[in-house]
Amino acid sequence: MAAFPVDPDPNAAAAGIEALYAGRTATEEPSAVLGGAFAAPAQVLKVGDKEYRVHPNVNLYVNPSPRCNARCAFCIARSDVPIDRENNGKEYLRRFEASLKFLRKQGIDHTALVLGGEPTIDRKLPMILDLLKRYKVRDPVITTNGSYLKNWVREINDSTLAHINISRHHYLDAENRSIMGSKTAPTTKDLKEVLGRIDRRISIRLNANLIKGGIDSAEGVTRFLDWAIDLGVAHIAFSQLATLPEEGGLVAKSVVKYSSAHRVSIGPILDAIRRDQRFRRIKVASGSHYNYEVWTYKTSRGEATVVFKDIDMNKIDLDSSFIDDLIFHPNATLGGSWNPKERILLP
Ligand code: SF4
């Protein structure tokens, strides 16, 4: 899974949305509406003379590498900004540990999400999981396209992972592989097999992008949900392709163009499910650059929690001294921006 606030598959992360959702259960009252602001005060991070205010529920995104075995046309890890220095081995891990120590020393309470690229093709993955365990980082999560989960089952079961986000953009195997541009993306049978080997304490979540020609209607959403419930997965997120910055090259121009041309508006889908007795809305939340709604879906097959996300990357204010997300970049620097050249906290 790619990097960036929205999860390269806007699965990956949805800048902060996953962190929000991860920390909360779907048990709030139907009327619960979070206004974007949190009751908890911001945390404070000092770097030299500079003082940053940090989101009270900040997530540390750990990106070992932008490499991936898939080639999704909407992948926001695809960037026109060259990576100046990629640390593939001990140096990356040494700097990652130094960053965990730095955050701990500053008293920053954070969760963690390991993404990419595709983290399961990276040999550093077990060591990253081990460091998250040793530093007792709260609620670690991994976002993956699932292709090579089977290679890391023992390490995953030994880790402190709270959940695994699996990117899956269609319930039909061939359609999903076509969307992901990958012959190795797992089939339904592959997923069933590997999920059966993962410790039940680790929650599994599926993330699907709403794409024209793919899952692009309320009917597509319900078919996907029925497929997921049959697979044994009870947490599913659907993301509108993020609105991406056209300038700066952080996201490749081809990705910005594809996302704009293939974006499916979430509004009509939500209108349709509001009229569907199988759905019940339990939470709505919004922030400066995102909106999301949490619903339950219940049929004779079973029940699932469903999240709908909508992110506008252009609304992230990079000029303020407020940090929404912490990112440990492939170049082994700790930053408060998705651009590895901006707001470097630990070079
Ligand atoms: S699976 Fe790979 S190519 Fe597709 S969005 Fe995720 S990181 Fe990008």
Q: How far is CA 332 from the centre of its chain?
A: 20
The percent of residues above 70 in pLDDT, for the chain, comes to 84
Tell me the residue length of the chain.
347
pTM above 0.85, yes or no: yes
**For the ranges 9-13, 128-132, 269-273, which has the lowest average pLDDT?**
9-13
Cα-to-centroid distance, 43 and ligand 1 (Å): 32
How would you classify the pairing of strands 290-299 and 279-286? Answer: antiparallel
Residue 41 has a pLDDT of 85
Which of 62, 72, 259 most suits a substitution to test ligand 1, by most atoms within 8 Å of the C-beta? 72
What pLDDT band is residue 83 in, cutting at 50, 70 and 90? low
Q: Which of 167, 184, 251, 255 is the best mutation target for the ligand 1 pocket, counting ligand atoms within 8 Å of the beta carbon and taking the most?
A: 167
Tell me how far apart the alpha carbons of residues 118 and 329 are, in angstroms, rounded to a whole number.
14
Return the top range by mean pLDDT from 22-26, 166-170, 290-294.
166-170
Residue 148: phi, psi to the nearest 5? -120, 25
CA–CA separation, 108 vs 134, rounded Å?
A: 16
Cα-to-centroid distance, 239 and ligand 1 (Å): 14
Looking at residue 338, its pLDDT comes to 84
Q: Which two tokens stand for residue 247?
A: 């300038």
Whole-number Å distance, alpha carbon 98 to ligand 1 midpoint, is 28
Lowest-pLDDT range of 6-20, 108-122, 196-210, 270-284: 6-20
Residue closest via CA to ligand 1's atom 4 equals 72
List of residues 6+ apart from 13 with CB closer than 8 A = 3, 4, 5, 6, 7, 59, 61, 113, 115, 143, 325
Provide mean pLDDT across the span 198-204: 97
Ligand 1 site-directed mutation target among 71, 145, 165, 177, most atoms within 8 Å of CB: 145
Q: The tokens 């620097």 sit on which residue?
A: 333
Q: According to the model, what pLDDT value does residue 11 have? A: 36
Expressed in angstroms and rounded, the spacing between residue 163 Cα and the centre of ligand 1 is 19
Model confidence pLDDT, tens digit, residues 153-170: 999 999 999 999 999 999
Which is higher by pLDDT, 85 or 156?
156
Mean pLDDT over each residue of the chain, to the nearest integer: 86
Distance 167 CA to ligand 1 centre (A): 8
In sequence order, the 6+-apart residues with CB closer than 8 A to the CB of 255 are: 73, 74, 75, 76, 78, 244
Q: Which atom of ligand 1 approaches the CA of 185 most closely?
A: 1
Domains of the chain: 10-346 (3.20.20.70)
**Residue 320 CB coordination number (10 Å):** 11
Ligand 1 closest atom vs CA 118: 7
- 85-104: burial string, b at 16+ Cβ within 10 Å, e else: eebeeeebbebbeebbeebe
**pLDDT value, residue 321:** 82
For the segment 300-319, the average pLDDT, to the nearest whole number, is: 85
79 or 107, greater pLDDT: 107
Arithmetic mean of pLDDT, 22-34: 30
Report the pocket of ligand 1 as residue ranges, CB < 6 Å. Answer: 1-2, 8-9, 68, 70-72, 75, 77, 116-118, 145, 167, 180
Q: What is the mean pLDDT of residues 196-202?
A: 97
Q: Is the confidence at residue 95, as pLDDT, over 60?
A: yes
Tell me what pLDDT residue 87 has.
65
Minimal-distance CA residue to ligand 1 atom 6: 1
